[in-house]
Amino acid sequence: MSTSARATIPIRAEGGVPKVPTFDVFTTKKDEIVGWARKFSLFPYPFVTACCGMEFMSVSSTLYDTDRFGAALPRFTPRQSDLLMVVGTINHKQAPVLQRIWEQMCEPKWVIAFGVCATSGGFYDNYAVVQGIDKIVPVDVYIPGCPPRPETVIDGIMQLQDKIAKQHHVILKGDF
């Protein structure tokens, strides 16, 4: 990822004897720096609708601590979020609300389908429930389970971080 190089610049000290300081210089690609920064600064927006919400709360406890992944502070406004966590069952009445929230989120944005109901409709195979939120918004990571264990949620967050780190990030002139 990055390489280290030493640069030397001779400086004249008192008495005319040159002193040679050394500086550590790191070289890397801007994409890698931006990817690393985005990977550890996720701002989740929890869209919690059903029983998976209890497992979602346990993931944020001290035992599992999502803060070490940079995803601990949930935002409750989509304009300050970049990660939409859909937790639980989504019915057809909620679908336009979920889509509007996703559209209001800042770019780049990612979506996690949390639990079997958000992933595929779960055991609610009827006319009222959306059979997977990927019919409404694009999903980046699916977390299976009814409800998913906190370890599975942490694994899903780590998969998303790997995906974010490997993405090509658009850097505008003047960003650095």
Instruction: Give domain status of residue 175, yes or no.
Output: no
pLDDT (tens digit per residue) in 67-116? 777 766 777 888 888 899 999 999 999 999 999 999 999 888 999 999 99
SS3 132: coil
| Residue 137 sits in the same domain as residue 94 | yes
Name the residue type at position 136.
I
The contacts of residue 104 (CB under 8 Å, 6+ apart) are 78, 79
Name residue, tokens 């920064």: 37
Instruction: Give domain status of residue 170, yes or no.
Output: no
At residue 172, the pLDDT reads 55
Instruction: Give domain status of residue 19, yes or no.
Output: yes
| Residue 54 sits in the same domain as residue 131 | yes
The residue ranges of the chain whose pLDDT is under 50 are 1-2, 176
Instruction: Give domain status of residue 58, yes or no.
Output: yes
| Residue 80 sits in the same domain as residue 149 | yes
Instruction: Give domain status of residue 174, yes or no.
Output: no
Q: What is the domain-level CATH number for residue 148?
A: 3.40.50.12280
Instruction: Give domain status of residue 136, yes or no.
Output: yes
What secondary structure does DSSP assign to 15-69, as a single string?
GG-EE--EEEEEE--HHHHHHHHHHT---EEEEE-STHHHHHHHHTSTTT-GGGG
| Residue 24 sits in the same domain as residue 52 | no
At residue 143, the pLDDT reads 93
Number of domains comprising the chain = 2
| Residue 18 sits in the same domain as residue 88 | no
Range of the domain at 117: 42-164
Q: What is the pTM of this model?
A: 0.74
Instruction: Give domain status of residue 29, yes or no.
Output: yes
